[in-house]
Structure 1
Amino acid sequence: MPEYLAPGVYVEETSFRAKSIEGVATSTAGFVGQARFGPTQGLPVLVTGFEEFQRFFGDGNDLLFAGVPTTNHLAHAVRLFFENGGKRVYVARAFRPAAGGSVDDSRSVSPAVSVLGSDRFLRARFPGRAGNVVVQVQAIRSGNLLTGSAGSRSVMGVRLGDVVEAITAASAKNRLVAKAGADAVEAANIYSVSFDAAGRPVLTNAAGTLDQNAASLHFVQKITVDLSIGPNLDGSTGGRVEAIQRVSTHPDSDQFLGRILRHEDPAAGIEPPADRSQRLFFDAAAAGLPSLPAQRTSFARDLLTGLVAAAPLTLSGGSDGILADSGAFTGGGSGHDASGLAALAEIEDIAIVAGPGAAALATPDDCQAVRDALISHCETLRYRFAILAGPRDADQALIREVRGQHDSKYAALYYPWLVAGAPGGARETVQYSPEGAMAGIYARSDIERGVHKAPANETVRGILRFSRNVNKGEQDVLNPEGINCLRFFEGRGYRVWGARTISSDPEWTYINVRRLFIYLEHSIDRGTQWAVFEPNNEELWLKIRLTIEGFLYDVWRSGALLGARPEDAYFVRCDRTTMSQSDLDNGRLICLIGVAPTKPAEFVIFRIGQWTADASII
């Protein structure tokens, strides 16, 4: 209660309305699969377009596992997700190094380049052949920074850790004769900037301090480095070139190469770079950063001259690893060490989960294990729904066998696969599992109609055809078992023709009913956190009822619930009839909510008969 201790007028704010519940997003997806590049651990990357996916995870060209080209299912699932209406997807990369290798060993290295006595100071940030790149290096010089008159000259416009080039008459001649070219760098001319007690710039190198008033000193230029990274050695990155401009080689500079291209290390307190899609990082341990000022000055000089002299730098040896097993998809760990599905568990916003490429693993046991892991993931976290696929060449008997291995109200199974054009024209067509396209259709339906609309009778975009033609007779067998068929209809195109979960419980037969309840439960969960530790009395119960009834009224108005009146569509009870004295004594508030969901018109039946003019309808 407010305190009133002195006479006066007091103005207070109060509320005369119930707190509102904002519906959670249901269209955000989470994918786990193998890619050509990108992080293998830590929080998944949020991707809002296929071009952004390519920056982080490489293009859609084939992965090379032990010399065998393998379809890049994850990349094409993401592409189809966006083509079919998806807006946001979190991507967790599954990576399995070759036998005896590790994630670090599979990063690209530069064995042909020796700078600072190490051939590993610049490394690919993540494993994968997409890290095999050529790095062009160019020294960039500013204008003359030397100002003032004879006897009082000084260098202006410099900061701590800047690297400058001092040009005298002799050094200018040597530079032009011995090493012609704009990138020529003479080690003897390189100085580092520090400041004295009076704040005046001091230029030093291994030979000592530069006399800025020397008659032989013509001009002083700040010198930085531009790096041009790419394209990939095998030309498979679509010609992407990454530019890192105006970086310094001195460790004290804000623009130090090792700071701009740092590699995140939570244990050491090193934060990730501003752009996690950078393909290179500076290996400070391999470079051996010195601590003494004089040594850091020499380090900056040697790194600058070494980079320019060694350019272009070729990084090679990166590997895509080998075909993942179920363990790579399932992942493990937490926080910065999380991988696979365990990494997706760290993100609360995800509502749709899939493992593109899992249906093409080496053994049926691995495929089944990943499907089980996806189902367990959704059942454990409660507010997610899994999209599953059967094997590539499954027929009616095999897809029924796959369906028989699972029973869950948190997953749906789709059949058959999709056929689309291959990237780069290497092959005419390629078969892709349907998870990515279906996740996009889920998102499209949610955005355009609402989560209560079954994601069926929707066109599948971005494909040429389905891998098998499913006719009505086949679907008569598959549909009752919860296998959602993708079918072609003359004049209506390629459509999703099923909306069932793989649950044996008739209460949860339909996808939209299950996902509607996920939406309601998650929204109420998130929107009523304010009630925790409030006094558990009639006032709180009334606030809870008004809050939830207001939310359900909006849901009913959107057409998600049956009933001509709100009282026919839902009820909310939170009073002495839902709680005993024991519940109150133990701090429990129990609210009973009932809703009447709309179910899809899966079977539309028109009864037609003959009648005469004098007949009547009873």
Structure 2
Amino acid sequence: MPEYLTPGVYVEETSFRSRSVEGVPTSTFGMAGRTEYGPVPYSLPAPGDPTVLPGATLVTSFTEYERAFGGLRIGNDDCQLALAARAFFANGGRRLYVSRVFTFANTTGATPVIDTPKNFASLALPPTGSALLRWRARWPGSAGSKISVAVTFRRGKNIIVQGGGAGAQPRLTGVQPGAAVEVVPLTGGVVPGIPDDTAPQPGNVRVVIPRADGVLGYRKPDGTFDAVAAGTAAFHLTLAVTVRFGERVDVYNELELDEAHPRAVGRVLAAVDPADEFSLVWLQAVTPAAGQPAPAAGAVLAALLNGGAGAAAFLTGGGDGGTLVAADLRGRLANPDSLIDPARGLGALAEIDDIAIVAVPDTVTLPADQQKTAVDDLIEHCERLRYRMAIVDPPKDCSISEVRKFRAQFDTKYAALYYPWVRITNPGLRPDPGAPAPLLDVPPSGYVAGIYARSDIERGVHKAPANEVVLGINDFTTNVTYDRQSVLNPEGINALRFFEGRARRVWGARTMSSDPEWKYVNVRRLFIYLEHSIDKSTQWAVFEPNNERLWASVRQTVEDFLIATWRTGALTGTKPEEAFFVRCDRTTMTQNDLDNGRLICLIGVAPTYPAEFVVFRIGQFTADAQRS
């Protein structure tokens, strides 16, 4: 309450509007599984180093996915998650969070570390003798051995300027502390010309540092200041790093040698928070042995150039970890008592509030008993978090009876099963001339998730994501006919079917629930949308005075949101009173509730159900017949 202590005119702003409820996104997809490369939680080995803790990573196109997580294969195997991501974006998806799962090999302790050669590829510089630097793959995997790094230099113009009058001390201009320069003597008082392709002599390379008064000079081996000598010239040396990974080429220009410079190569290509979020490598300076001085700048530059300007070398080592099991996909939540023990697998997706659709395509690569466990973990994830829906893949090459047996193991309103698999032209293989295109069978979850997103964007979450065309496929692995679907549909198995002249479509919208109240996917997802939106947008009410004014404000807020939802066609009824009710008053709360700080708001909505069976009754009619 404002205080009025001094006489005067007081102008105050107020609001006469009720607070609004903003609808949450419903088309954001999340997946956990193996990828060729990309972000995964691990710790750096050296004491005091920060810890790399990426959670689930957002990508908004398949091109961005490839940059972050690599291609469609992991070693000799197809990457099911990459294929699902490709299908998701091809069918209208826009936002995908990926939680990469990697089973570290040969590690000790709860958190794997980077110095395990079986996990991370690396390249020592120089390649022979004592290493001064080391290029390291930023993420684990055998894909790291496909990365090559080349460092080139550029010799800039002379940066020595004679200051003041005759005999004045020369000074450096046009460079910042941390820049590397090549110092050469003048020839007859003239700056010598040096061919561009001539590598700098290590003994002539210096690093620029400032004196206490701001004058620039060079750093001596012991770290002290060395003034610019008369009769010398200096050329600014900058670096360019070219990193290649398959067809991907990343070039980092105008880099500096020393860590003191903001554009230092070790800063731009750092393990933690690099300039490029999806950089492939990072540069590690090897700590000298006890009692040994730090390497000279010229030796560091020579090691980076790797024997000559532009010489590229591949990283070596790295592996794809241990055998994937269901527990790896489940992962775990972050350890609240440790900053170096982050969430993994599905646990990392749990930290992203916007995710509304979840799938784990790698369940199909597990043995039958583990596949059931992995699907149970996926369902438990959605039921615990309440505001997301799971898309379940059936086992590969399963018959009608086998998919019915698989479906019979589950009962949940937070998941839907789609059958059969889809057949596509293998995007990872180039066909031989004149040979038929190679085909690949893929689980349907990525395609269905894209259709969920497309339907939400075009129509709304209340529209059943069915009778929608599946894009980017050649065929289904099994032909589901009318008679076959009459067996599958009542059991909650959504069929993917081909219709002559109407393409291949999703032809089912049922959950895996035995409760008829939650039989349809769109009804379950509509309630998820309503509950999540109201939950997020009414947090302001916590700790407000629990009286009639608050009850009326909450009631008005929810009613306004439901009216807007009803106008989209999500709720039945010709007027709002037939579509929903909101009660928040003495009829929903007792004095005991008020004494214990509880505000109870009762909301009822009438959702629209899909017209799953459209029936037209036709009979003969004559003038003498009576119509009933």
TM-score by length of 1: 0.91
- Out of 66, 71, 79, the position equivalent to 2:78 is 71
- The match for 1:13 is 13
C-alpha separation in 1, matches of 2:193 and 2:517: 84
Question: What does 1:37-436 align with in structure 2 at a 5 Å threshold?
Answer: 37-41=37-41, 42-60=54-72, 62-64=73-75, 69-97=76-104, 104=114, 105=116, 106-110=119-123, 113-114=126-127, 117-118=130-131, 121-132=134-145, 133-148=147-162, 150-152=166-168, 153-169=170-186, 182=197, 184-206=199-221, 212-215=228-231, 217=232, 219-231=233-245, 237=246, 239-264=247-272, 272-284=273-285, 287-288=286-287, 298-310=295-307, 311-334=311-334, 337-361=342-366, 363-426=367-430, 428-436=438-446
1:464 aligns with 2:469: no
- Secondary structure at the counterpart of residue 494 of structure 2: strand
Q: Following TM superposition, by how much is the alpha carbon of 1:159 offset from its aligned partner in structure 2, in angstroms?
A: 1.4
Structure number with the higher helix fraction is: 1
Q: Following TM superposition, by how much is the alpha carbon of 1:324 offset from its aligned partner in structure 2, in angstroms?
A: 1.6
Q: Following TM superposition, by how much is the alpha carbon of 1:151 offset from its aligned partner in structure 2, in angstroms?
A: 2.5
C-alpha separation in 1, matches of 2:140 and 2:188: 43
Does the aligned pair in 2 maintain the 1:185–1:308 contact within 8 Å? no
- The match for 2:35 is 35
* Bigger mean CA deviation after superposition, 116-125 or 151-160: 116-125
C-alpha separation in 2, matches of 1:608 and 1:30: 47
C-alpha separation in 2, matches of 1:353 and 1:535: 39
1:503 aligns with 2:513: yes
For residues 596 and 72 of structure 1, do their structure 2 counterparts lie closer, same or farther at Cα, with a shift above 3 Å needed? same
C-alpha separation in 2, matches of 1:171 and 1:51: 57
C-alpha separation in 2, matches of 1:2 and 1:529: 24
* Bigger mean CA deviation after superposition, 204-213 or 594-603: 204-213
Task: Write the deviation string for residues 159-203 of structure 1: whole angstroms up to 9, x where unpaired.
Answer: 121111112258999x999xx762512111111111122211012
- Secondary structure at the counterpart of residue 121 of structure 1: strand
Code of the residue aligned with 1:484 in structure 2: it is: N
Does the aligned pair in 1 maintain the 2:206–2:218 contact within 8 Å? yes
Does the aligned pair in 2 maintain the 1:137–1:308 contact within 8 Å? yes
- The match for 1:522 is 532
Task: Write the deviation string for residues 9-47 of structure 1: whole angstroms up to 9, x where unpaired.
Answer: 111111112111000000001011111100122311100
Q: Following TM superposition, by how much is the alpha carbon of 1:120 offset from its aligned partner in structure 2, in angstroms?
A: 6.8
| Structure 2 alignment gaps of length 5 or more | 42-53, 432-437
Task: Write the deviation string for residues 106-161 of structure 1: whole angstroms up to 9, x where unpaired.
Answer: 11122685378228721100012322211111012221111126523211012121
1:25 aligns with 2:25: yes
For residues 374 and 120 of structure 1, do their structure 2 counterparts lie closer, same or farther at Cα, with a shift above 3 Å needed? farther
- Secondary structure at the counterpart of residue 258 of structure 1: helix
Task: Write the deviation string for residues 271-295 of structure 1: whole angstroms up to 9, x where unpaired.
Answer: x2232310001234xx117999x95
- Secondary structure at the counterpart of residue 562 of structure 2: helix
For residues 575 and 21 of structure 1, do their structure 2 counterparts lie closer, same or farther at Cα, with a shift above 3 Å needed? same
Question: What does 1:532-551 align with in structure 2 at a 5 Å threshold?
Answer: 532-551=542-561
For residues 151 and 594 of structure 1, do their structure 2 counterparts lie closer, same or farther at Cα, with a shift above 3 Å needed? same
- Secondary structure at the counterpart of residue 354 of structure 2: coil
For residues 534 and 164 of structure 1, do their structure 2 counterparts lie closer, same or farther at Cα, with a shift above 3 Å needed? same
- The match for 1:268 is none
Code of the residue aligned with 1:199 in structure 2: it is: G
C-alpha separation in 2, matches of 1:587 and 1:291: 64
C-alpha separation in 1, matches of 2:616 and 2:132: 76
Task: Write the deviation string for residues 362-392 of structure 1: whole angstroms up to 9, x where unpaired.
Answer: x111211111111000000000000001111
For residues 197 and 77 of structure 1, do their structure 2 counterparts lie closer, same or farther at Cα, with a shift above 3 Å needed? same
Code of the residue aligned with 1:548 in structure 2: it is: V
Q: Which stretches of structure 1, 4 residues or more, deviate above 3 A after TM superposition?
A: 97-104, 169-173, 204-213, 289-292
Does the aligned pair in 2 maintain the 1:40–1:92 contact within 8 Å? yes
Code of the residue aligned with 1:54 in structure 2: it is: E
**What is the root-mean-square deviation in Å for CA atoms of aligned residues?**
2.5
* Bigger mean CA deviation after superposition, 74-83 or 550-559: 74-83
C-alpha separation in 1, matches of 2:97 and 2:468: 24
* Bigger mean CA deviation after superposition, 273-282 or 599-608: 273-282
Q: Following TM superposition, by how much is the alpha carbon of 1:563 offset from its aligned partner in structure 2, in angstroms?
A: 0.3
Q: Identity percentage over the alignment? A: 47
* Bigger mean CA deviation after superposition, 160-169 or 476-485: 160-169
